[in-house]
Chain A
Amino acid sequence: MNCQRFEELVSELARGQIMDADLQRDALDHERECRECMLRLNAEEHLTRGLHALKLEMESVSAPMALESHLVEAFRTRNVVHPIVPRRTMARYWLTAVAALLLIVFGVVAARWRHEQKQPRQVEAAVPSKQYEKQAVAYNRTPDQPKPERPAPERRPKRERRLNGLVAKTPSRNANRDESQISNHVVKEIATDFVALSYLNPENIQEGGQIVRVELPRSAMASFGFPVNMDRYNEKVKADVLLGVDGVAHAIRFVKEY
């Protein structure tokens, strides 16, 4: 044992703390041999006695009696007691998440509803194309194929509008969903009826043919009896020309995209 080691243990020795018996014996042996360390231990023991005296002096000290009554009064009147509240739960976060989810669902439903509201307009546009396709099929049919039964004449809807001689072929809103899905990709357009360019022999058409989309000067419409706005006479207008198998144009109709 040296003085440095004794210095580390002197407080424990003076306070009577439990320590290893051999270590304590070595420390006390050193204290008997070294005067400096003996003085150090004596000073520590005096300090311990002083602290103990202070502790005894203050043992009887306690808070004033009035404090207890104040606290009890506070306990009764100020309602400071709160029930034991469980620690912060995730309920608030779950509620927020559910609200957000509901908002998203309502948003999607509203978007779908609006989308479905727009569907009938596209159906309206689909029908001219459907007739266009039917005519194309009929004209492309080969002679050996049986002639399809002529469908019953369709009643034109009451909402059909005439506009400067152009017939807007609007379908009924009850057109089935499949048709609308097929023709969703078709551009919206209105067209006139086919106007014969020459004496039309149905047999020539039955042999087959095709419809060709062309662009003509707007003034060409006048040749077929349609009114022409002279301010726009030099503009182009689209037209479908029905060609027979011999390549001769048999009929024409004018088309307007909108």
Chain B
Amino acid sequence: MTAAFRPFRMKANNDQNDGELLRLMLAGDEDALTLLYRRRQAAIYRFALQMSGSPSVAEDVTQEVFLFLMRQGHVFDAARGSLPSFLLGVARNYVLRRLRGEQLLVTLADDYEDEVASEQTRTEPGLLEELTRAETIEAVRKAILSLPERYREVVVLCELQELSYVETAEILGCAIGTVRSRLHRARSLLLTKLRPAEQADQTTEVTVKSARCFA
């Protein structure tokens, strides 16, 4: 009995890095697709969910990202960044397209955000401690969703996905300094949004009246 000649073909396994799995997937290896999907789907789904607040949008975006990878995975260039960053960049584009197309969320106007960010945020201690854990999480989630897109994506990537400034800059296609300054403004906006209404009034008054200490 003679063994039929078969060309040598590497099988996908979990020890292989993302680049190798992608190459095998593009060559038609279904196992590579499965491994790659299981390895990277959660981050993409969470990113889309945190950006949109909609599980259905997050699901659609995750699917679109992997379909894009199947069709045009050859455009990935390892020299320009890692595959997770590439996938999150693709996911970001799909999310923004959905958000802008469907107007799922109402964002703050630019003049308002600049006005709020420019003022020095003053918050009383124990602001978030007064809330229960579940309430805190829900409040933070809503506050993030109400941020303008450019601040929201920085908070999601740097705070919730815990990516470095460098990785975030790769995904957003901007400078590291831009990421840092946007994050700073985004946190100021979040503190303002999380402040209770009565405290906000007092704080605003205090902010106006108080002279800054330059000790």
Contact of B120 with A by CB under 8 A:
yes
Cβ contact within 8 Å between B45 and A34: no
Among listed B62-70, B79-87, B98-106, interface-contacting one: B62-70
8 A Cβ contacts from B141-182 to A: 141, 144, 155, 159-160, 162
Cβ contact within 8 Å between B194 and A61: no
Cβ distance A158 to chain B, nearest Cβ, rounded Å: 77
Cβ contact within 8 Å between B63 and A80: no
Contact of B49 with A by CB under 8 A:
yes
**Known contacts being A72-B30, A84-B74, is A4 close to B140, with CB within 8 Å?**
no
Size class of the A contact interface (CB-based, 8 Å): 35 or more
Cβ contact within 8 Å between A80 and B42: no
Cβ contact within 8 Å between B71 and A82: yes
Contact of A90 with B by CB under 8 A:
no
Residues of chain B touching chain A, judged by Cβ–Cβ distance below 8 Å, are 25-28, 30, 33-34, 37-38, 41-42, 44-46, 49-50, 58-59, 62-63, 66-67, 70-71, 74, 120-129, 133, 136-137, 139-141, 144, 155, 159-160, 162, 183-184, 187, 190-191, 194, 210, 212-215
Contact of A95 with B by CB under 8 A:
no
Partner of A46, one of B59, B127, B159, B183: B127
**Known contacts being A53-B136, A54-B137, is A80 close to B67, with CB within 8 Å?**
yes
Contact of A116 with B by CB under 8 A:
no
- Which residues of A sit under 8 angstroms from B59, Cβ to Cβ? 63-64, 67
**Known contacts being A39-B122, A62-B45, A81-B26, is A71 close to B66, with CB within 8 Å?**
yes
- Which residues of A sit under 8 angstroms from B42, Cβ to Cβ? 61-63
- Which residues of A sit under 8 angstroms from B183, Cβ to Cβ? 11
Contact of A85 with B by CB under 8 A:
yes
Cβ contact within 8 Å between A84 and B26: yes
Residues of chain A touching chain B, judged by Cβ–Cβ distance below 8 Å, are 2-4, 7-8, 11, 15, 30, 33-34, 36-37, 39-40, 42-44, 46-51, 53-55, 57-58, 61-64, 67-68, 70-72, 74-76, 80-85
> Complex: how many Å from CA A42 to CA B191?
11
Residue from A51, A57, A82 whose CB has the most chain B CB atoms within 10 Å: A51
Cβ distance B186 to chain A, nearest Cβ, rounded Å: 9
Cβ contact within 8 Å between B160 and A58: yes
> Complex: how many Å from CA A85 to CA B73?
11
- Which residues of A sit under 8 angstroms from B50, Cβ to Cβ? 58
- Which residues of A sit under 8 angstroms from B28, Cβ to Cβ? 81
Cβ contact within 8 Å between B124 and A44: no
> Complex: how many Å from CA A80 to CA B155?
34
**Known contacts being A11-B187, A63-B59, A68-B37, is A3 close to B46, with CB within 8 Å?**
no
* 4 shortest interchain CB distances as A-B pairs: A43-B123, A62-B42, A46-B128, A63-B45
**Known contacts being A64-B59, A71-B67, A75-B30, is A50 close to B213, with CB within 8 Å?**
no
Cβ contact within 8 Å between A50 and B33: no
**Known contacts being A37-B213, A47-B128, A68-B34, is A53 close to B133, with CB within 8 Å?**
yes
**Known contacts being A4-B212, A33-B215, A51-B159, is A43 close to B30, with CB within 8 Å?**
no
Cβ contact within 8 Å between A36 and B210: yes
* Closest A residue by C-beta to B187: A11
Cβ contact within 8 Å between B70 and A51: no
